[in-house]
Structure 1
């Protein structure tokens, strides 16, 4: 069974599922939060879905039927970002700046760490470290076992991206108009490179290149070692800000924009492969599963798009807004909306 333990599927933030989804999809089950909504992306591990709502309740439910395994309510903070589920533990941060490690089988709190500012990005967990970014511009490394801080890296502007890890480096795209490469063992900056504007877009690293967009509407491909700009793409007709993470593999790089579209670019050249009009702003990060792209909109639509042609193959209208991103495991897709419904899509009977 394939899992989705981290918010973008893997530590490199590729946004690519290990398996394709059934050609025809339909809701298999729905789970309703109690007078709340979902903005956080779900993690899926071992047939269990883990996700928190905006009012501070964290849920674990069975992927097969949506049955509740456990829930825990935390009075002082809601969840705007997803969790990481690694080695039997759930690591999650709330908007009051508290990171918690919970037992995955019961929800019992193991440890807590309080940062100096709120979290808008999920933790990444690599090599015994829990990496979190904060609105105060911090990248903090915590010991996964104890929750004690190992090191801290600071910039002079907010960090809203997920900390992407490749080999011995953590990549951060900051609101200080720079891409940073930080040593994962020490927290010291190894390299940095200027970009054309602030960004909270999570960098995706595939094939030795970092892919992300900015508030100026520019999409970058930057080599990882040493940092150097390979290409830039900017829509010649409309330069709307890019707040989603990209999904990237050897075939394509796809991302959503606030300009109501999903773009696909050639990863080698940066040339436009296709544009798909979503008729609504895209702030949920798309994913790739098999030969299709799955993208959700702020108006509550989920689109399946052919990876090669850019043609729509399936659509579902949920209502509400999708700010969370899709997660995929065991031929099912999970996503929650701001109206408080968590959807599980699977094979249409």
Structure 2
């Protein structure tokens, strides 16, 4: 669910139900304020078979923190909003370990190079040893962390809700540099997730700008206004880059923005290759020469990654609050607000499969490996599905 945040002087504001419906597109019970498209029957050409399921604590909490699971090798790592972290065998769901942290978790997990990294509501970043869940180090950043921490060989880059980007030493958690950006008065609840490679970090900001930071110093190499505020009200002027920039091996960068456009850039200079008028707050997905975007009204659009030309559009799941897409066995994978997992053929755009995980809904993107899908529902149920043609 999308909620709102007032930055700087006022960090939390509670709106009435009518204001929430107007500003955030959510009803008081956490469901869309408008009518989602009803699910229709279709020619099912793929099945989703449950391999195992586990309950991970009490789930994502009433605020539905974006605590997406992560997979490394044969282990799936998952957490709940109260600080429970679990490691599970990816094949059968057997628990390898679990720990209860003394602080509530608020970010998606990142599992890399023997560590699990996560952020907390009180502005901590914690590194856990993948072998047993023991704490390797803890570090403090400026405010709550909702975006998954991102790593290169030396650094862990953390983007907090006040717009600050902090680089921590991956081995020790020691602060290396800090980049501070200006925040508009009103932003979407949440932040963009930075994209990190060895030399630079690409960070999308709530003011609609994309900045490229030198990882040696945190100094900006270039920044670009991706989305320009327009309209009379603060809500109309929201332009958050709340997805994660997507970089390709050949140096192209794809960026989505709320209330604005999808842009393809040349990564070293920031020059625009093409742009498309699609509003999205989700991270795009690239498979082959197709770029897949979930729009803010949950239409799924396939674009030619080279030109930006629209190839196909699927509106069968319109207004169903789809997650960002994942990819499994030739299919795009999405969760929705009623807890369904949907498959869409990546080449044709047709629905191919569907199953329901839990009525509490799914608000974090699935994690995939081959034809295996790990999906965590809002109540904490972690289910592993296998795609079978």
TM-score category, normalised to shorter length? 0.7 to 0.9
Residue pair 1:320, 1:338 contacting (<8 A) in 2 also: no
**Separation in 2, partners of 1:194, 1:300:** 32
296-305 or 93-102, larger mean C-alpha shift: 93-102
Deviation at 1:111, TM superposition (A): 2.1
Q: Pick from 201, 207, 226: which aligns with 1:216?
A: 207
Q: Pick from 145, 156, 164: which aligns with 2:150?
A: 164
Residue pair 2:227, 2:257 contacting (<8 A) in 1 also: no
Q: Is 1:97 paired with 2:83?
A: yes
Q: Pick from 47, 54, 57: which aligns with 1:65?
A: 47
The normalised TM-score by structure 1 is 0.74
**Separation in 2, partners of 1:214, 1:236:** 10
Q: Pick from 195, 211, 219: which aligns with 1:204?
A: 195
Equivalences, count: 287
More RCO (CA 8 Å, sep 6+): 1
Q: Pick from 230, 234, 237: which aligns with 2:225?
A: 234
Q: Is 1:136 paired with 2:122?
A: yes
Over aligned residue pairs, what C-alpha RMSD do you find? 2.6
Secondary structure of the residue aligned to 1:67 is: strand
Partner of 1:253: 253
**Separation in 1, partners of 2:313, 2:283:** 16
Deviation at 1:84, TM superposition (A): 1.4
Residue pair 1:300, 1:337 contacting (<8 A) in 2 also: no
Secondary structure of the residue aligned to 1:111 is: strand
Mark the runs of 5 or more structure 1 residues left unpaired by the alignment. 1-35, 38-63
Deviation at 1:145, TM superposition (A): 1.2
Partner of 1:175: 161
Secondary structure of the residue aligned to 1:71 is: strand
**Separation in 1, partners of 2:122, 2:102:** 7
136-145 or 316-325, larger mean C-alpha shift: 316-325
Deviation at 1:205, TM superposition (A): 2.1
132-141 or 233-242, larger mean C-alpha shift: 233-242
Deviation at 1:207, TM superposition (A): 6.4
Partner of 2:266: 266
Partner of 1:188: 174
Mark the runs of 5 or more structure 2 residues left unpaired by the alignment. 1-29, 32-45, 185-189, 230-236, 351-389
Partner of 1:21: none
Deviation at 1:332, TM superposition (A): 2.7
Deviation at 1:297, TM superposition (A): 2.1
The normalised TM-score by structure 2 is 0.67
Q: Flag the structure with higher strand content.
A: 1
Deviation at 1:68, TM superposition (A): 0.8
Deviation at 1:214, TM superposition (A): 1.0
Residue pair 2:72, 2:112 contacting (<8 A) in 1 also: no
Deviation at 1:131, TM superposition (A): 0.8
Residue pair 1:232, 1:270 contacting (<8 A) in 2 also: yes
1:164–1:99: structure 2 CA closer, same or farther, 3 Å change rule? same
Partner of 1:13: none
Task: Map 1:113-128 onto structure 2 (within 5 A).
Answer: 113-128=99-114
**Separation in 1, partners of 2:129, 2:90:** 17
Q: Pick from 307, 310, 331: which aligns with 2:308?
A: 310
Task: Map 1:283-302 onto structure 2 (within 5 A).
Answer: 283-302=281-300
Q: Is 1:77 paired with 2:59?
A: yes
